[in-house]
Structure 1
């Protein structure tokens, strides 16, 4: 077992080395560095390829094992309510810090920046609410997997899970088969992770080469202010909420997810860590139904980092253009942007497009100012993705606690390092049972498909 942990340990050391090397190449040879972008794009695409199968298997196995359908509805409703509240809190914090800093004052809009802002506005095209809702429905059940749409996959998985739940004993063979598929999917994902150093090198080199040191210097105020605001939100707001409601330390949770944060930092996309977050939340002690519903839904609706970014970026552009927004304008504009951003799951460029769309619809004269932050948006995207990811991890633990689907004893063992995560298979080893003594835990670790409902009481689906 120790040898297996050492191998993955070396893998992430290689990722750190690749990131540092990429930064060096970006500064030393920016022209060549930009040409390395396909390496990063290719790696992220490989990860995205696995998202739909992971979500499908997790949700179907989870819901198919729960005996009360109302429990799934309660989880979803509670999650959406929580996401709305936290998005509002994130907006409020961004407004407060943005108005205090006034980061855009003193900047001059160049013709090049004006052209970049116009290009972003044309490339945006935010969906209306009806279009967004209809977009959740796939053309066919299969197209949900081929289209790469998280919410479409979530819908199909929910329907299949409820259908298997209604089938009762007749659905057990299907659940066992999906359990085997899940093992295959996670094993493929573990193989893909060995390409992470190459992807990290290409992604970081390209963004550093394209941005350059001059842009970073001139826009340091907005960057530092945004990163500081995200840190305050994660450690003060989310950390306090997590400690009060669950007793879990935010520092322990983030340390447990350290490799996922490194992956996001090197690829600038929180989607690259979505499959691993699902696996790690199950391993931590959150039940499959809660994990399977909260994580994918949170990737579309719980965008705390994006909310903070849209707030501060809007104030920044307005200040830089010499037409500051009144408080009423700030609130109406930002509420529109947060709603418009739903469904854009932490992908590079999504926040910038939403910013341009929001300004175009509310204050068209400010759209040109978006070009001021085009150069550093990729660096701000890092903080957006990291904050969104931390918010979804905390949300999963909170929802699990409030629905009594979170095993605190299990979490304490995992966070203390006594029950290590299996980096080779990435498959949950049967949380809800005693981690050291229970025979069922060992059985499930060896073959999760052999015990389709290892962690749930057959009467009500609550963790034992």
Structure 2
């Protein structure tokens, strides 16, 4: 512990301090669980501050990226390439999750709780999500409502249409609104830099609450599933993300340094939103043009949730195994296609994967009781899958920039450089 603190003091960046806070929080949660549980307020404060940044940041950066570029065809090309990349990678994530859980058979022999224990959550579970519901949900009916509810995808869609409309104005009229949006974007990046100084406290408190509330003994209950999940996520990183990075000539070492802090925040808080502003800054500082960063990463939060998709694949088969059900290859593929749809747009929603899993279980006639066993380890699983979500979206922005031939062609903003140096 002392060595960690000394190392953090010698570094100017926040990442070592965040790591030290995670270790201290975990130890505090183990030694004084009741006190650690009371520290949740500090993590909630940190998350609230971050959530105030997300909507205006996405709106401002998307509008400036679309209207400032002035080439709508280029924006459409980036969107099509991004969607192709997202669907290919998330499909590979589903395959990795399926293979891992079928090899480990983690759900076999699991004693599930009686149905009564699931009553509270079952009452709040929504019906199965169909493609029409998702498509309708993409478009906002009230932008203020979308911002208040944290509907990132709806804010992004509104910003896209706003940016397209702004790009159609004359340069004189467009410049006025564009300057306001550019100024708002710079302010929100600066706001992020200020909030991030509170990150070690918020992250440490989140870790202390998780360990104090759940206890370390939870690892013994569903350890096999967790090992399967973590092993599958590592395999996905090594067998999918790394080859993609090498194929598109991504500077791997520089990328890992840039993604270290957003990934650490995501792992500790289990919230993609908390890492979004810093991830955008770091990728811009790495060499991804802001117009690509501001489009790809927010879109990836709804269409490129690699970690969550992999977890859903493993968890759905885990439920079937725990219930003693045998699913054919065709049934498993059909379930995965359903998950590809129902998993869209779950970023930033607490326990959203469990809600999606409940909806999918209802569609395919799976019992609900085994799903609630996953609640015991959901927080630990959420740490890993959220980290992979963030890393995957950061890599996607670099890949699209490479694909467009624009990686490293534009100087990052002063705010992005300042964030990267911290």
Q: TM-score, normalised by structure 1?
A: 0.82
Task: Report the equivalent of 2:113.
Answer: 110
Q: Deviations over 1:392-426 (max 9, x none)?
A: 11111111222223227979xxxxxxx99312899
Offset of 1:372 from its aligned partner? 1.7
Contact 1:51 1:275 in 2 (8 A): yes
Q: Do 1:265 and 1:382's aligned partners in 2 also have CA atoms closer than 8 Å?
A: yes
Q: Which runs of 5+ in 1 are unaligned?
A: 412-418, 427-464
Counterpart for residue 401 of structure 2: 400
In the alignment, does 2:90 pair up with 1:87? yes
Matched, 1:304 2:300: no
1:345-384 paired onto structure 2 within 5 Å? 345-364=347-366, 366-384=367-385
Match of 1:448 in 2: none
Deviation at 1:260, TM superposition (A): 1.0
Q: Alpha-carbon deviation of 1:179?
A: 1.9
Say which SS state the counterpart of residue 111 (structure 2) adopts. coil
In 2: Cα distance, 1:333 partner to 1:73 partner? 31
| Cα distance in 2 between the residues matched to 1:79 and 1:424 | 25
Specify which of 214, 217, 227 is matched with residue 217 of structure 2: 214
Asked if residue 74 in structure 1 is aligned to residue 77 in structure 2, the reply is: yes
Distance 1:183 1:7, change over 3 A: farther
- Distance in 1 separating the partners of 2:262 and 2:336: 29
Aligned partner of residue 257 in structure 1, secondary structure:
helix
Contact 2:43–2:201, Cα closer than 8 Å, also in 1: yes
Select the residue among 240, 243, 246 that pairs with 1:243: 246
* Alignment match, 2:132: 130
* Correspondence 1:133-152 to 2 at 5 A: 133-152=135-154
Alpha carbons 2:302, 2:346 under 8 Å: kept: yes
Q: Which residues in structure 2 correspond to 1:192-271 (within 5 Å)?
A: 192-245=195-248, 247-271=249-273
TM-score, with structure 2 as normaliser? 0.90
Q: Tell me, yes or no, if the aligned pair for 2:57 and 2:188 is still in contact at 8 Å.
A: yes
2: distance between equivalents of 1:184 and 1:7? 29
Residues 128/14 of structure 1: CA separation in 2 closer, same or farther (3 Å cut) = same
Number of positions where the alignment pairs a residue of Structure 1 with one of Structure 2: 412
Structure 1 residue corresponding to 2:346, chosen from 344, 347, 358: 344
Kindly indicate whether residue 417 of structure 2 is the aligned counterpart of residue 421 of structure 1: yes
Q: Deviations over 1:268-290 (max 9, x none)?
A: 11111111222222222222322
- Is 2:15–2:261's contact at 8 Å kept on the other side of the alignment? yes
Change (3 A) 1:103 1:234: same
Query: What is the match of residue 4 of structure 2?
Result: none
- Is residue 41 of structure 1 aligned with residue 37 of structure 2? no
Q: How much does 1:72 deviate? A: 0.7
The equivalent residue for 1:288 is: 290
Per-residue displacement from partner, 1:107-154 (whole Å, max 9, x unpaired)?
21233xx44444444333154332322223323344443332111211
Of 154-163 and 384-393, more deviation after overlay is shown by 154-163
Contact 1:271 1:347 in 2 (8 A): no
Equivalent-residue separation in structure 2 for 1:6 and 1:143 (angstroms):
43
Q: Specify the alignment match of 1:190 in structure 2.
A: 193
- Cα 1:241–1:10 shift into 2, 3 Å: closer
Q: Within 1, Cα distance between the matches of 2:299 and 2:169?
A: 26
Contact 1:333 1:358 in 2 (8 A): yes
What are the ranges of 5 or more consecutive residues in structure 2 without an aligned counterpart?
Answer: 1-7
d(CA) in 2 for partners of 1:31, 1:157: 44
Matches of 2:142 and 2:350, distance apart in 1:
28
Shift of 1:347: 3.9
User: 1:385: Cα distance to partner?
Assistant: 0.4
